[in-house]
Amino acid sequence: MIPFKAPKKWLGALDADVAARFIATAADVALVIDGRGTVRDVAFGSDDLAGALGGSVDWSGRPWIETVTTESRPKVESLLRDSAGPAPSRWRQVNHPMPGVADVPVIYAAVDLQRDGRVIAVGRDLRAVAALQQRLVDAQQAIERDYWRLRHAETRYRLLFQTASEGVLVVDAASLKVIEANPAAGRLLGEAARRLVGRTFPEGLDAAAGRALEAMLAAVRAAGRADETRIRVPGTAADLAVSASLFRQEEASLFLVRLLPAAATAGAVLPDTQARLLDVVEQAPDAIVVTDSEGRVLSANRAFRDLAQLATEEQARGDSLDRWLGRPGVDLNVLLSNLRQHGSVRLFATTLRGEVGATADVEISAVAVQNAEQRCYGFSIRNVGRRLSPDLRVGRDLPRSVEQLTELVGRVALKDLVREATDLIERLCIEAALDLTGDNRASAAEMLGLSRQSLYVKLRRYGLGDLAPEADKR
């Protein structure tokens, strides 16, 4: 503290009321203590603190030491003892207890008034500082917890990375520099893992393998995924199956490259019969699609790509089959619901839309297959547009049976189907009446509850019977 240089000159005639106002203004709380440590008067410069301390509580006449918590009492004694010197006591924090709420922290300094041992104690509210300190402590503890979680996660990652049986490389997508390599990758590539770090991938491989890997990485960079590539490492007799995926970390794009012996990707080489079956599926004239349990395409053969007007399988993979079916949000839901309930669906009629607008009438048969822990669905889609009879197409001709009418479901709007059904029933009734009356139209009209004129109108509409002027047969 640096005191005034000439207090007597400038403050010697200071009035007690002025001094009291000044002290109350400068401090949040001020206490006048007598020589026995008893509070004689209290002034609050902060209404907020007065409310927190229970402004109605009167400390006058109580020992100061009784207004603080137990652990703060030695500090009060020290303040009163130190105030007896020529200089004010040093600041000390004490806590005032309040029932039902947290203690109120106040920092005090005491000054001896040199009048019968009286002391004035001025205090500053520390609740804002205490709140900041608590927030700081909470933040530090949260950071500490996050740090240890990160350390544990990193430890688990390192353990898995080092002990994994398949080779793993982390490659920078911009420079193609290897950032990390595990021991398995070193064994498969014939190098120590530490020597792979910092090298350009795929450095050390022959030209053909290098081109294949560069093409795969370019496809992953563009589409996010690509089919695995098989390469031969110089000096080894076994092929490697290489796959990659793209991810971002700290604003940088990285490749996660997996290396496996080619035989391990399928557990063993496919038998010739299975390999031939896969070739048949790929070359089949009917479209064949395999989806996951949500209807997202996992694989599709060439016929499906032709129907959907797609150039590559990658354009379909990962998208919902609903994207190409005739009624979005309806057909696929019906198929999936039946597959989950019955395990198979046969001859489901709908249409299939191509990417550039072509449509085809199709029949879909599907089956549910449990593959390990993953359930998938296989769809066989046949283009039946050429074999549909003219009667089944939407036009002016009427269907000849209810079976034909029901086959229009999915191709014709409901209101059109109702109209077609009404026309079908009306025509069948007229034909039946004519048969029962031996083609006597007057009797047929009476049987149907129609006038002869109305019957003639309907006969012309449906093209029934001989409508020459001498028509009526008696």
Closest CA to 38 of 17, 22, 12, 60: 60
For residue 137, give both structure tokens.
Answer: 């402590």
pLDDT band at residue 71 using 50, 70 and 90 as cut-offs? very high
Same-domain status, 212 and 253: yes
Answer whether residue 22 shows pLDDT above 50.
yes
Question: Considering the entire predicted model, what is its pTM?
Answer: 0.39
On whether the CB atoms of residues 229 and 212 are closer than 8 A, the answer is yes
**How far is Cα of residue 438 from the mean position of the Cα atoms in its chain?**
73
Query: Using CA atoms, how far apart are residues 244 and 231, in angstroms rounded to an integer?
Result: 14
Q: Which residues contact 414 (CB under 8 A, 6 or more apart)?
A: none
Answer whether residue 227 shows pLDDT above 50.
yes
Same-domain status, 249 and 323: no
CATH code at position 195? 3.30.450.20
Same-domain status, 376 and 407: no
Tokens 């014709």 -> residue: 412
Query: Using CA atoms, how far apart are residues 253 and 242, in angstroms rounded to an integer?
Result: 19
Give the angle subtended at the CA of 361 by the CAs of 355 and 367, to the nearest 5°: 90
pLDDT band at residue 398 using 50, 70 and 90 as cut-offs? very low
Give the mean model confidence (pLDDT) for residues 96-118: 85
pLDDT band at residue 466 using 50, 70 and 90 as cut-offs? low
User: For helices 441-448 and 452-462, what crossing angle results, to 10°?
Assistant: 100
Q: What percent of the chain is modeled with pLDDT above 70?
A: 84
Assess if residue 151 is contained within a domain: no
Q: Which residues pair with 344 in a beta bridge?
A: 367
Give the angle subtended at the CA of 374 by the CAs of 371 and 376, to the nearest 5°: 70
Handedness of CA 27, 31, 34, 37 (dihedral sign): negative
Assess if residue 76 is contained within a domain: yes
Give the angle subtended at the CA of 389 by the CAs of 384 and 394, to the nearest 5°: 95
Same-domain status, 115 and 19: yes
Q: Number of helices (H) and strands (E) in the chain: give both, helices first.
A: 15, 15
Same-domain status, 121 and 45: yes
Q: Is 419 helix (H, G, I), strand (E, B) or coil?
A: helix
Domain finish residue from 388, 411, 433: 388
Same-domain status, 169 and 249: yes
Same-domain status, 319 and 364: yes
On whether the CB atoms of residues 106 and 124 are closer than 8 A, the answer is yes
Q: Which residues pair with 125 in a beta bridge?
A: 106
Same-domain status, 368 and 450: no
Provide the pLDDT for residue 248: 85
Give the mean model confidence (pLDDT) for residues 415-425: 79
Provide the pLDDT for residue 89: 81
Closest CA to 220 of 193, 242, 196, 246: 246
Provide the pLDDT for residue 238: 66
> Beta 287-292 vs 297-300: how paired, if at all?
antiparallel
User: For helices 441-448 and 414-436, what crossing angle results, to 10°?
Assistant: 130
Q: Order of strands across the sheet with 252-261?
A: 178-181, 167-172, 252-261, 239-249, 229-232
Domain finish residue from 75, 101, 125: 125
Q: Which residues contact 258 (CB under 8 A, 6 or more apart)?
A: 166, 167, 168, 242, 243, 244
Assess if residue 157 is contained within a domain: no
Helix H, strand E, coil C: the string for 316-331 is: CCCCEHHHCECCCCCH
pLDDT band at residue 136 using 50, 70 and 90 as cut-offs? very high
What is the number of other CB atoms lying within 10 angstroms of the CB of residue 460? 11
Same-domain status, 46 and 20: yes
Q: What percent of the chain is modeled with pLDDT above 90?
A: 11
Closest CA to 289 of 255, 328, 323, 238: 323
Task: Give the domain extent around 190.
Answer: 164-265
Torsion of CA 95, 96, 98, 103, to 10 degrees: -10
Closest CA to 348 of 377, 380, 320: 380
Domain finish residue from 69, 103, 125: 125
Query: Using CA atoms, how far apart are residues 18 and 278, in angstroms rounded to an integer?
Result: 102
Query: Using CA atoms, how far apart are residues 424 and 104, in angstroms rounded to an integer?
Result: 90
On whether the CB atoms of residues 41 and 31 are closer than 8 A, the answer is yes
**How far is Cα of residue 384 from the mean position of the Cα atoms in its chain?**
40
Same-domain status, 38 and 115: yes
Assess if residue 137 is contained within a domain: no
Answer whether residue 61 shows pLDDT above 50.
yes
For the chain, give the number of residues: 474
Assess if residue 307 is contained within a domain: yes
166-186 pLDDT, tens digit per residue, is 889 999 988 889 999 988 888
pLDDT band at residue 142 using 50, 70 and 90 as cut-offs? very high
Assess if residue 159 is contained within a domain: no
Give the mean model confidence (pLDDT) for residues 447-458: 87
Give the mean model confidence (pLDDT) for residues 455-474: 68
Provide the pLDDT for residue 74: 92
Query: Using CA atoms, how far apart are residues 132 and 434, in angstroms rounded to an integer?
Result: 98
On whether the CB atoms of residues 218 and 136 are closer than 8 A, the answer is no
Query: Using CA atoms, how far apart are residues 1 and 34, in angstroms rounded to an integer?
Result: 24
Q: Order of strands across the sheet with 344-353?
A: 297-300, 287-292, 374-383, 359-371, 344-353
Same-domain status, 252 and 360: no
> Higher pLDDT residue, 412 or 419?
419
Same-domain status, 346 and 445: no
Provide the pLDDT for residue 223: 77
Domains in the chain, number: 4
Answer whether residue 473 shows pLDDT above 50.
no
On whether the CB atoms of residues 459 and 451 are closer than 8 A, the answer is no
pLDDT band at residue 13 using 50, 70 and 90 as cut-offs? low
Question: What does the mean pLDDT of the chain come to?
Answer: 81
